[in-house]
Copies of this chain bind each other. A is one copy, B any other.
Amino acid sequence: MSEASGVSEMTVSRVLRGKGDVSEATRLKVQEAAKRLGYVPNKIAGALASSRVNLVAVVIPSLKNMVFPEVLAGVSQTLENSQLQPVVGVTDYLPEKEEKVLFEMLSWRPSGVIVAGLEHSEASRAMLARADCPVVEIMDTDGDPIDACVGISHRRAGRVMAEAILDAGYRRIGFLGTKMPLDHRARKRFEGMTRRLGKAGVEIADQEFYSGGSALAKGREMTEAMLARTPDIDFLYYSNDMIGAGGLLYLLDKGIDIPGRIGLAGFNGVELLDGLPRQLATMDACRREIGERAARIVLARHTGEQAEAEKVELSPTLSLGDTLARR
């Protein structure tokens, strides 16, 4: 590349990075040569020399349920016109895999790390604490962040939903969700809800958990199972909208009166719900905004600006839809 354009490597570097003063003439020579050769600069060497790696590691549990892709979309959009580029890693909700992925990503010396959740293995926390880049833990604010944090309080979300359910007059409440140990946020919502119900002297009447398979189909099955087992149930709280939608479709099939005989609520505000016959009660998890805010924090730190607040707690909005109403 240097020979092809007849200037020093250094000048080539300056042109290609648009840094430093270069005469128009040499600039054109270099650009022409680059195009002609199909030259793609080696970022590895560049990164090593400058110790600048414009990558932001985004570590999330899964891509299978639309919530993380949306967070990602927020991150990508925010980073779009910056030097930074997101790189995603998926953990499948497995702490060991999270550890592996973090190690792998940190070994590339990223400019920032955005990682879902506040629960990590000892080793993961240590790695993140040592990483000399901003670390933003996202989704959840119930706990102690290593560095920065953007999310919502899932305990609070559970509590708020519990209040809405109680207010509407439901008393025989069932919970349907993912297997707990894997999903801390679902667990926290569950805890927030049960605690609030407990204060009102109400106990969860029944519960059912699943893992794997089509969420919509699981929602149907679990709903059927719970109704069979606990016929006097009058409210179903689903840990996500997808299984909630399945339950809704099932109950509609059966001709059950919603929200009279049974009320329903999910969690997330997935776009999918817009097309359902009834609007499921749900709570928006602010996914896109979480991604945006997290990316902005990384960006601000990276460009040396004042760091934003270390812990950003967003407020999810409750929407009652057609499935949660005073009886």
Seen from chain A, the residues whose Cβ lies within 8 Å of a Cβ on chain B are: 38, 40-45, 47-48, 53, 63-64, 66, 69, 72-73, 76, 85, 87-88, 90, 103-104, 106-109, 126-127, 130, 213-220, 245-246, 249, 253, 271-277
A-B contact pairs, 7 of them (CB 8 A): A42-B107, A43-B107, A43-B109, A64-B73, A214-B272, A216-B272, A249-B275
Q: Which of A40, A73, A218, A273 has the most CB of B within 10 A?
A: A40
Distance between A290 CB and nearest chain B CB, rounded to angstroms: 16
Tell me if B274 and A43 are in contact (CB < 8 A): no
With A44-B53, A219-B275, A249-B276 given, is the CB distance from A126 to B214 under 8 Å? no
Interface SS of A by simple majority: helix
Contacts of A64 in B (CB 8 A): 66, 69, 73
Using A64-B69, A249-B276, A275-B219 as known contacts, say yes or no to A38 and B214 having CB atoms under 8 A apart: no
Given contacts A253-B277, A275-B215, contact A44 B47 (CB under 8 A): yes
Bound CA–CA A76/B63 (angstroms): 12
B217 and A275 contact, CB distance less than 8 A: yes
What's the least CB distance linking A121 to chain B, in Å?
A: 13
